[in-house]
Each structure stands twice: as C-alpha cells, then as structure tokens.
Structure 1
Amino acid sequence: MALTENTAQQAGTADPPTAGRGPGRWAKLLPAPGPQRVLAAATLVNTFGSGLFVTSSALYFTRVIGLPAAQVALGLTAGGIVGLVAGMAAGRGADRWGAKRTQIGVMVLGAFFMTCYLFVHTFWPFVVVACLTAAVHSANPTSRDPLVRQFGGERPAAYRAYLQAMTNLAIALGAVVAGVAIQADSREAYVSLLVGRTLAFVGCALVLTRLPGRARSETRQPEKLGWVALRNRPFLVATVINGVMEVHYAVPTFALPLWIVDHTDAPRWTVSVVLLLNTAMVAGLQVMAGRSVTSTEAAGKRMLWAGCALCAGLALMAAAGGPTAWVSALILVAATAVYTVGELWHAAASMEYSFGLASAEAQGQYSGVFRLGAGTGDALAPTVMGVMVLSWGRPGWLVLAVLFLLVGAASRPAVAFASRRSSG
C-alpha cells in the first residue's frame, strides 16, 4: 500500500514517480511533492548544465583557450585519473558528514572550479582546472547516491530508473541548446555555455537545500566501519563485471560514428540518426527497463539479457561494413535499437548491484568503489574500441560482441558464488 503524502513527507520519503498527484497529464510524470520531487529537480538542473558543457567543452578548450587537441586530451586524461580517487573520497565523506551537506558542497565547488576556466590561457593551468572539475564530476554521483537511497520510497528501483531517464533527457536538452551556440561559433557563445554550466551547479545546490535534513544515527558511526566495501566479495565481483561491461558505452559516442564514416557506405547523416535513436530510447524506456529489477538475482538476469542484446547489436554493426549505402544505414539503425536495449538492461542491473549489494550505513563508500570500477572501464573504453573496432574492423566487433555475451552470462553465477564464499 502506498504511503499518503503527509506520511511520506514525515518519513522523509515519497511515493514512486508513477504516483504523482494533481490535475493534468504532466503531473503523472512527476514524483509526488516532497523529497523525491526536490531531488529530481536538482538532478534535472545539474544534468542540463552538464549537457551544455559536455557538448561544447572540446570546442571551448581549443577555440577559446587556444590549446591543441593533443594537449586537451592529455589534460582530460589526467583529470580522469584524479576523478577516480575523488569519487571514493566523496562517497566516504557523504557517509561520515551527511550526503546532503556533501552533495551541496560538491555543487558549490563545481561552480567555483568551472568559473576558473574563464581565467585559463595556457596548458598547465588547464591541467589543474581539468583535474579539479573532473574530481567534482566523479564526486557528484557518489555523494548523491546516499540521497537516492534515503528518499527512494517504497519502489527504489523505479525511482532510480526515473532519475536515470531524467538525466539522459536533461543532457540531451542541454546538448540541443549547446548546438545553437556552437552554430554561432563565437567566443561569446562558448563562454555563455560555460557560464550556464556554472549557474546549473549553483541552482542545483539551492534546490538541494530544500531536502529535509537527517541527523546521523548514533549507531551508524561509519568512520568505525573502515572500507567495508573492499571486504564485500559479492560487491567486488559485481563491480569488476560492471566495469568490463561499462566499455560498451563508448560504442555510440566514439566507435560507431567513426565506423559509419570511415568503414561503411552509409550516408554521414546516419551518425546523427543513430545517436538520436539511442538517446530517445534511453530517455523513454529506462523507467520501464528498471521497474522489475528489484533484487540482485533479477539484476543477474538482466545482465545476461544485456550481454545477449549487446552481442547481437555489435554483430549487426559489423555487418553494416559491406552492403550498399541504404542497406547499411538500415542495418545500423536496427543495430542501434538492439544495442540500446542491451544498454537499458545493463543500466538497470548495474544500479541494482550498486544499491542491493551495498550496506545502507556506507552507501556513499560503496558507490565510490562501484564507480571506481565503472570509471576504469570508461577510461579504457576509447583505447579498446580504437584497437579492436577501428583497427581490426569486423573481427574486432565480433570479439567484443562475444566478450559482452560471456561477461553477461557470468554475472549471476559469479555473484552467487562469491555470496556463498562470503557466508561460508
């Protein structure tokens, strides 16, 4: 039975997103008034700003600051390495000092560090600021996850999926707005996007202040727990499996566009078509994909399904390298649709693993460790895709397809085996 609105607010939770109240069609798309809606609004503001900057950042660094592309890549790589550590530290801080306080602090630092880009004109200051902003980027989810757990309501899996869908939609909207500024291609346009990202950090922090406070329990004492996540074998196994699967996220953003342009006869506009299809499917179907993933056993099943769909999608992408232009384009559209289904199932499974195998008293720490595995996969993905897909061609696609199938199939039994060893 769903909680009433007053009871939910007193308990610090709210009904799932599907239970929104109020007249009109749009009210049903929102969480009920209370902490869930506040956290969703904060997520929307922050990720819209992320869409603004991610879409235009490379152009800002090269056209406004004036750095060569190789130096930009080096600075961002350094930032990615720093970010891996920062995410774990922020998660531990959220457990010790409170997730709301930590998350607001991360947003404030994000606004300050983003402003620093306005004063960067040479390489080494760029590296420093890139490391600082990357640390904020990694600290954001690990300090936010305890809030998601705290206010997840009676259907936390559905709420997490809702936030993921909102994230993808907001980033896409930010990218659209950034596209207008990019078309102008002026210093003022790029600076306005950076200022917009800064304001999004500030806006998110202000929205988060509306969340109810929650004092730490005297029995929690997370500082005495140590690094419990590193002693949780099932969780570490799931972290490694998810880290390997994470490599596939470079397919639509890195490997597939280059494959389409350099290795197929499909029209170049096919790149935009498949990216829009991927974005639309993720934004529209994420809630549905995650609705029934409410246990680690269900997560194991979805990881298997994800492996099968990713395998089929990548095999189709490999097949697009030979046919004529229109046939190749149709194959690529079908391949993207199948791949995206696998992406949805993987996202649902990974969210359940990161919460379902974690201790409530140390959710931030667990999130930091889990995202360390994911971040490692993300960091390696461009190199893996570059070697296996862009250098090996079709055989590389097929090797990756089989890899994802095997990892997906191994997920459920591997986590179950680790659970038995831990309890034995």
Structure 2
Amino acid sequence: MNAIKQEGKKSKLQVFDQLESEVRTYCRSFKTVFAKGSNAKLVDRDNREYIDFFAGAGALNYGHNNKRIRSKLVEYLLQDGITHSLDMATEAKEKFLLTFQNTILEPRGMKYKVMFPGPTGTNSVESALKIARKVTGRTNVVCFTNAFHGMSLGSLAATGNAYKRGGSGVPLTGTTFMPYDGYLGPLVDTTSLLEKMILDSGSGLDLPAAVILETLQGEGGLNGASDKWLRNLERICREHGILLIVDDVQMGCGRTGTFFSFEKSGIRPDIVCLSKSIGGYGLPMAITLLRPEHDIWNPGEHNGTFRGNNLGFVAATEALHYWSNDELEKQIDAHAKTISAFLNRMASRYSGKISEIRGKGLIQGLVFKNPEEASKLCGVCFDKGLIMETSGPSDEVAKLMPPLTIEASVLKEGLNKLEAALQQLFAPAKPGELLQTKSS
C-alpha cells in the first residue's frame, strides 16, 4: 500500500487504476477524486468545484446531500432506527408506503400494489418481466430499438445496445425487438407494424406476455415517444391481453417534468418500474408497481437481501414531500424552458456540427453529426468545471441532466460553461443555416 501511495503522487487515480476492476467507466471520463457535494455542485480533493449536469445518472434528482433529506436520515440513525430488515414490517417502510399512496398514487387516481424487488433498477425490471410471464403464462416480451433496461440477463435481453449485450457471455433470449417511435422516420407509426405482426399468424412473432418501454429513452439517445404512439401501444396491449410495462427508472421521479414520465399521455401501465431517485438521497432503492389483479406472487417467489433498505425508505419519504404541491413541478418547467432556449441557440449557431436537440424536462441534449464530437465536448466541459455525459448508440448525444433542485443561478453558470466549451471546440457556424429539431 505504501508503494501505491507513493505512486499516487503521480496520478490522482493511481489507487483506482491499480486496485479496481477494468470495468469502471465514469472515472475514465471524470479524472479526479471527488470529496464533497452540495445540491448541483461537487468539489474534488484539490478543492476544485464542478457543476453537476449528470446527477448520478438520474439518481440525484434532489441533489447531493439534500439538507431536508439528510436531516431526516441523521435523526433516524441517532434514534437507532432499523437499517436492514429484508421484507419485515418496519415503521420506516410503513411511512413510505402511506406517503407514496397519499402523495403520488391517490392524487393521480392510480391503483397499484408496491413491490420491493431489490436495490436497483434492473431488480425492478427483472421482477416486472417475471410477473408478466407468470400472469399471462407466456414467455415472449416485446421491447424496442435503442432501449436500455439494465445489465442483468433478463433486463439485458430487452436492451438494444450491442456493446452492453456483448458482455452477457450467454445468448440473450425471450425478447423480440420492434422499432421505437420515430425509428423508421417521422411519418411511420411503428405500432402499426407491431399490430400487424400480432394479428398475422405467419409473422413468427409469439404473442407477447408484455411490452416494455421507456417513454423517453435515456441511454438510447433521448428518443421520445409521442403521446399518440403511447396510446396506440396501450390499445394494442389491451386488445390482445398483453401487459404494458413502463420502465421509469431514469425518467420517473420528475425527470421529464411530472412525477411519472407517462402522465400527460393518459396511459395506465400494468406495471411501472422505479429506482434511482425514488431513493431520494442516492440510496439504493427500487420499487415495482403492479395493478392489484396482477399481484399473484407466492410468498418469497421473488426476493432479495437488500429489498428492505430502511434508510432508503426514510429518504424517499421525505423526498416525496416535494410532490405534495406543484412548486417543484413549476421549477422544473422553468428550468426546462431555460435549457431548451439555450440549446436551440447553440444548435442554430453550430448547425454544421449539431443535427438536432432532443429530450424534455430536465433531460435534454445536443445530437452531433460526428458522434466523436459529443465526447470531445463533454471532455472540454469537464476541464471547465462542468460534468456531463453522452448517450445514444454511438455516444452522439451530449446530455444535460442536472438535479431538479438546481438553483437558477447555478444552472445559468453551467450553461455558460457549456457555451464556452462549444466556442472552444468550434468556430461559429455560417448565418442562415437551419436547425432541425425533434420534439419528444
């Protein structure tokens, strides 16, 4: 260890390079050692400050070290509150269930049973796939191009990215991919293809147990499904006894502007997957929402050691209070308009480099004609003290995903850093070049 410490003087990441697996990713892009965080800002151990437009890949919608949530956690710990409980009944879980019911489900007229499948998003997706197959007695699941649902085998089988699928080590089966909304161009309603294949006994498509989708594809490149497309998909599912699963792991908890990403479309999924920011404080937590008639599990048929993370319950309960009124939703809308206006200006200025903008709410991004330039931009942003990541099958989208609670002044400061990074990378575009935009 002494040798490692001495080498560490030459490289900030020497310990991680020598001792941590090669599978690590984000520390290769953000080459520093972070020490502190507060809302939308991070500080490394050299006391350099960064604005966070990454937010833990969507796990920190309420920011780093949210004071409201932290105080509840500290109070709970000092009172010797239960931390680990498997699926035993605890006061912390009871408070979460009641708060979720009263603050989220009842005001939206939703009736779901809450399942705690384990601590991560892929746990929620795996449980959704399992119960859909159990309910219907069928095995095939329809998923969509450029989808991302997780890294365990069931969720990975429903994930489109070839690089991630290649790490499985075994054949990925039990799913059929169909084109997502817009995949075949703006004039083609791809739900018509799905419906035709379901109706045609010669299509080779086994009648699905479920259809699983993200209403806005995060890792897939910020591709958004229209409300009409979502309603058509729901109709097809209802007519053929197919369960509709919405993976809201990244887009839920307010990321797109409403608590659930699908609210404005009017659809009512059979199953909803939530994780990431449902834990409130970046704590591991996931839930699977099931229509009561689909809750046919036998006791212990799906379980996990860490499905009773009581610190997650405490943090989540306090975070849900942000949704007891419309203040946060209004703030998200205001910030989203600020970001959208800024991105449109940048895309117009650099129209020779940027093909379109995508996304909504507080997850929006610039699509680059040359995918490598999105990564280069994020690198320059990091050098200027702004943390961003890329998404899309070729990492062609530079993605903005700040905490929902970001202060307006900090948001503006971050956008100024992004503008400076674009200016450093590219000469101003010629006037009069048109911007192609895509609404989500």
Q: TM-score, normalised by structure 2?
A: 0.28
- Larger fraction in strand: 2
Q: TM-score, normalised by structure 1?
A: 0.29
